[in-house]
């Protein structure tokens, strides 16, 4: 028996050695799920982008590390025409494509690759458009790129002109999103010739800081440092994703030294992580919001006074404590405080059941019965919707409002909650895609997003608010845009189509010897700046 | 024997048809659909929803879709995953060896421990060993797998540091998959320590997956042995003056094995169900975890074909078990 134990100990010492840096520095990331594939364009999951767009690919413009500001990427500079509809990009020269066992690039990155990367998504006649069975380009269509881009022209090998159908200030932020990653036109041609186009998704080729080595489904993804990367070369030699779906197991792996960094710890484990001297914990407010959307087209919720009264009856601090376990902050605006144009001058409706009751009476409403919808799943912005709904139920009971809590399977919930004739108020939320306020305010609260299948769950269409956000989309000066969005938030607060609940905090636990990791407000996990201290 | 085999094979046909219906129907009975889940919080307009559903072929009547599914099966086409866009069969093949490796280890542990425990408990009926082992079996049978797995990880990997937390092999080792079975591939790789690493990674998940089958097998062995030990021929054997060892091993055990083998065969289905949780806890890249992911994403083709393939495997194993009876007990094959 002792010998057996000794052998076991030897085996596990080996396993522990996996995390120790040998001659080549290997960084292990315990990711939470498997990527859907490695082509960033057809997919929508953040975990897919962490495995594809961020390590392997680059974009014309990039989000500056740790911010949502735009900085040059594959485009060194750009000019925007006076009317805002023409953008000319000057491309970086000397950027090498990665290679693999089936492809050796004959040329460097140029304008043809930019044109190919957008054409393959928007143009159904592009030979690569339908290269996988049932492929769709969800982000390209969700960001309305098809309607927005009139043309992409090659001026010369290193100059590309985008012509838009209308001025659209958030367009540049869209170009920094994963779906806008630039892929190699030559690689696509090579694969089409060989008749194995699916390798475009299986064996990705990009210009990013790491090149793809191998993926063993549901288990491990391996990358190697791209020595030819145009930016600062990564400090680590090998990057490994160890796919570990359970949060408690991820933490055990981190503690055992089987990985260096993990995403999404369970809220209950935060204190334990803070107490462990082998670990450290980074945190920042997430770019998200959780809200309760009233159906503003149905009486009595069509009366702003009723909505306001309910908002005043809601004890949000209690929700932060009980549901978020402190890992969040009370939301007063529909956009998070880390986003530019956040209007901090706005005062939240104070928690005041007496005043709420009086306001409800003033609105002529008594014996109100209502539904609160609680989604059945945990989301980054909402750890437990059911518990939140129960707290609201108790709060509303104090002012004489009787709440029935309902729930549906997640897919049904998403669909039924968009029904314009829906009864009841819906708990839901949003995580930003590109850091632009338009990505919250227009997606969630514009008139265009009302109706069946739309993302404006309050069915709220306010002329003043609409004018402000439409105007803010058309001017390109950010200070001017910020002013318009600040005003829009005043209108929102006054009209109260939602009760804004919370912005959740994002935590990233890592080994104490990890250096240089920068948290992204967009929730991305990127590793070109990380290093492991000896 | 041939007629026996043919009769058994004939039974498989209606069973198989039944399974195609259940596998196809199961995922469609669940509310929600893949298009809605893909769109998420953003929502999707009814027009776009219809367009995507049509593109995937889910706007057609159920019967047409079912006929399509079955027709595909006859041509060896198990469909394409909605999520990864890869052929379901290829995905199955890449993940199946991991599950088999785990399941074989688990069933070996369950049998090699469960049968002797059951036999000893029966022989020493009412003893302390009997009481402890049967209480243990009851606890094991009722064990919530997820909790049990996590507990073992925290104790053996966390506190003691004896076993790795999860995965199939240390990430230090990197070699091509030849067979998909890590124990074999690690030996073939010739890398020093790879095999030991693969073994150490197998220990906890195998124990967790073996827990319920072990409990069932031990209890079944005990009750079968008790029954046989009361038979006339055992008394006769004893009366002949045979040693206890000979009575048990030659006369009692062989006869008691028939219900035990049935039980072991049935445990294959239990293992497949247990693999879903075990694989999720131990980040084991097998078909259990694959099914869970696919169900939550409503990946219809993967769920329906995956269920079908798993059911087919369980059926084949049960067929083999049926045939084994014939070998152990000639009366069954001549009936």
Q: B59-76, pLDDT tens digit by residue?
A: 888 899 999 999 999 898
Tell which of A133, A236, A239 to mutate to test the B interface (max B CBs under 10 Å).
A133
Across the interface, whether the CB atoms of B172 and A410 are under 8 A apart is answered: no
Long-range pairs for A16-24: beta carbons < 8 A, 24 or more residues apart: A16/A256, A16/A257, A16/A258, A16/B161, A17/B170, A17/B172, A18/A257, A18/A258, A18/B170, A18/B171, A18/B172, A19/A257, A19/A258, A19/A259, A19/A260, A19/A511, A20/A257, A21/A532, A21/A534, A24/A237, A24/A238
Closest CA to B312 of B259, B264, B272: B272
Mean pLDDT on B159-188: 90
The pLDDT of residue B333 is 58
> In this complex, is the C-beta atom of B295 within 8 Å of any C-beta atom belonging to chain A?
no
Peptide bond into A300 cis (omega under 30): yes
Whether residues B161 and A9 touch (CB distance < 8 A) is answered with yes
Among A16, A36, A252, beta carbon nearest to B154: A252
3-state secondary structure of A299: coil
Which chain B positions have a beta carbon within 8 Å of A222's beta carbon?
174
Taking CB atoms and an 8 Å cutoff, what residues of chain A touch B164?
Answer: 11-12, 15, 256, 258
Query: What's residue B330's pLDDT?
Result: 67
Please give the residue of chain A at the shortest CA–CA distance from B96.
Answer: A217
The reported pLDDT for the residue numbered A184 is 97
B334: confidence class by pLDDT, cuts 50, 70, 90: low
Report the candidate in B285, B306, B284, B286 with the shortest Cα–Cα distance to residue B295: B306
Identify the segments of chain A with pLDDT beneath 70. 1-23
Instruction: Give the distance from residue B165's alpha carbon to the nearest chain A alpha carbon, in angstroms.
Output: 6
Contact between A243 and B91 using a beta-carbon 8 Å cutoff: no
* Average pLDDT of the segment spanning B152-169: 93
A-chain residues near B167 (CB < 8 A): 219-220, 242, 244, 258
Question: What does the pLDDT read at residue B45?
Answer: 82
**Chain A residues with CB-CB distance to B196 below 8 A:** 7, 10-11, 14
ipTM: 0.87
Rounded to the nearest integer, the mean pLDDT of chain B is 88
Residue of B nearest to A44 (CA): B38
pLDDT band at B332 (very low <50, low <70, confident <90, very high): low
User: Binning pLDDT at 50, 70 and 90, where does residue B26 land?
Assistant: confident
Please give the Cα distance from A460 to A469 (Å, whole number).
14
B10 at A interface, C-beta within 8 A: no
Name the CA radius of gyration of chain B, rounded: 24
Provide the 8-state DSSP code for A263: S
- Is there a contact between A469 and A484 (Cβ–Cβ < 8 Å)? yes
Touching check for A17 and chain B: CB below 8 Å?
yes
Report which of residues A518 and B35 the model is more confident about: A518
* Residue whose token pair is 């049967």: B134
What pLDDT does residue A4 have? Answer: 40
* Gap from B194 CA to chain A (nearest CA, Å): 9
Substitution target from B283, B285, B298 for chain A, most A beta carbons within 10 A: B283
């Amino acid at each position: 028996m002792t010998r057996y134990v000794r052998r076991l100990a030897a085996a596990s010492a080996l396993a522990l050695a996996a995390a120790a840096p040998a001659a080549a520095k290997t960084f292990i990331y315990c990711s939470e799920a498997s990527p859907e594939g490695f082509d960033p364009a057809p997919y929508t999951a953040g975990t897919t982008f962490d495995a594809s767009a961020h390590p392997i690919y680059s974009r014309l413009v990039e989000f500056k590390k740790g911010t949502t500001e735009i900085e040059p990427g594959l485009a060194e500079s750009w000019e925007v025409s006076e009317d805002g509809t023409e953008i000319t990009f000057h491309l970086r020269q000397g950027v090498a494509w990665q290679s693999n066992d089936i492809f050796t690039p004959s040329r460097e990155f140029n304008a043809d690759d930019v044109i190919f990367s957008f054409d393959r998504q928007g143009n159904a006649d592009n030979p690569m458009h339908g290269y996988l069975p049932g492929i769709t380009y969800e982000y390209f269509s969700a960001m309305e790129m098809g309607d927005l881009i009139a043309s992409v022209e090659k001026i010369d090998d290193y100059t590309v002109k985008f012509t838009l159908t209308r001025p659209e200030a958030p367009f540049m932020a869209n170009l920094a999103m994963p779906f806008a990653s630039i892929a190699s036109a030559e690689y696509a041609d090579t694969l089409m010739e060989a008749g194995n186009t699916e390798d475009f998704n299986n064996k990705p080729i990009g210009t990013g800081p790491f090149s793809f080595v191998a993926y063993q489904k549901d288990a491990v993804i391996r990358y190697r440092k791209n020595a030819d990367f145009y930016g600062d070369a990564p400090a680590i030699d090998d990057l490994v994703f160890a796919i570990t779906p359970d949060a408690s197991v991820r933490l055990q792996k981190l503690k055992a030294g089987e990985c260096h960094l993990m995403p999404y710890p369970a809220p209950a484990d935060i204190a334990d992580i803070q107490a462990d001297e082998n670990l450290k914990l980074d945190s920042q407010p997430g770019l998200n919001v959780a809200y309760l959307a009233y159906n503003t087209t149905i009486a009595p919720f069509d009366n702003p006074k009723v909505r306001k009264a309910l908002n005043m009856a809601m004890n949000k601090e209690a929700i932060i404590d009980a549901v978020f376990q402190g890992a969040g902050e009370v939301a007063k605006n529909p956009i998070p405080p880390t986003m530019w144009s956040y209007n901090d001058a706005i005062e939240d409706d104070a928690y005041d059941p007496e005043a709420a009751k009086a306001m409800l009476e003033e609105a002529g409403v008594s014996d109100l019965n209502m539904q609160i919808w609680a989604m059945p799943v945990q989301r980054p912005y909402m750890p437990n919707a059911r518990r939140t709904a129960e707290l609201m139920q108790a709060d509303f009971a104090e002012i004489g409002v009787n709440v029935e809590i309902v729930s549906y399977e997640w897919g049904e919930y998403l669909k039924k909650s968009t029904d314009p004739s829906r009864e009841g108020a819906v708990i839901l939320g949003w995580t930003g895609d590109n850091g632009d306020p338009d990505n919250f305010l227009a997606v969630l609260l514009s008139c265009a997003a009302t109706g069946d299948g739309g993302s404006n769950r309050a069915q709220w269409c306010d002329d003043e608010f609409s004018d402000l956000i439409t105007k803010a989309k058309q001017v390109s000066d950010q200070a001017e845009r910020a002013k318009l969005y600040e005003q829009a938030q005043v209108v929102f607060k006054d009209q109260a189509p939602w009760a804004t609940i919370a912005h959740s905090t994002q935590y990233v636990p890592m080994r104490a010897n990890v250096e240089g990791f920068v948290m992204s407000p967009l929730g991305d996990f990127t590793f070109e700046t990380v290093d492991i201290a000896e | 024997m041939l007629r026996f085999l043919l009769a058994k094979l004939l039974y498989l046909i209606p069973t198989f048809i039944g399974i195609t219906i259940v596998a196809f129907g199961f995922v469609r009975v669940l509310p929600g659909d893949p298009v809605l889940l893909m769109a998420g919080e953003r929502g999707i307009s009814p027009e776009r929803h219809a367009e995507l559903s049509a593109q995937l072929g889910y706007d057609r009547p159920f019967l047409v879709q079912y006929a399509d599914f079955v027709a595909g099966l006859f041509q060896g086409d198990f469909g394409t995953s909605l999520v990864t866009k890869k052929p379901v069969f290829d995905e199955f093949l890449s993940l199946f060896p991991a599950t088999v490796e785990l399941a074989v280890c688990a069933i070996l542990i369950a049998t090699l421990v469960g049968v002797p425990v059951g036999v000893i408990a029966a022989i020493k009926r009412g003893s302390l060993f009997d009481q402890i082992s049967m209480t243990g079996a009851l606890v094991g049978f009722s064990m919530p797998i997820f909790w049990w797995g996590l507990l073992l990880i925290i104790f053996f990997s966390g506190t003691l540091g004896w076993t790795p937390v999860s995965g199939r092999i240390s990430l230090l080792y990197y070699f091509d998959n030849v067979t998909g079975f890590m124990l074999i591939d690690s030996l073939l790789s010739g890398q020093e320590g790879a095999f030991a690493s693969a073994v150490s990674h197998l220990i906890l998940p195998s124990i967790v997956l073996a827990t319920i089958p072990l409990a069932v097998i031990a209890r079944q062995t005990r009750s079968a042995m008790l029954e046989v030990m009361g038979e006339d021929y055992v008394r006769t054997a004893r009366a002949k003056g045979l040693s206890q060892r000979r009575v048990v091993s030659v006369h009692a055990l062989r006869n008691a094995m028939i219900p035990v083998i049935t039980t072991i065969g049935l445990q294959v289905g239990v293992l497949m169900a247990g693999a879903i949780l075990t694989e999720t806890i131990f980040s084991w890249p097998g078909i259990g975890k694959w099914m869970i992911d696919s169900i939550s994403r409503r990946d219809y083709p993967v769920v329906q074909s995956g269920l079908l393939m798993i059911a087919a495997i369980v059926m084949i194993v049960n067929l083999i078990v049926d045939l084994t009876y014939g070998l152990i007990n000639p009366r069954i094959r001549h009936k």
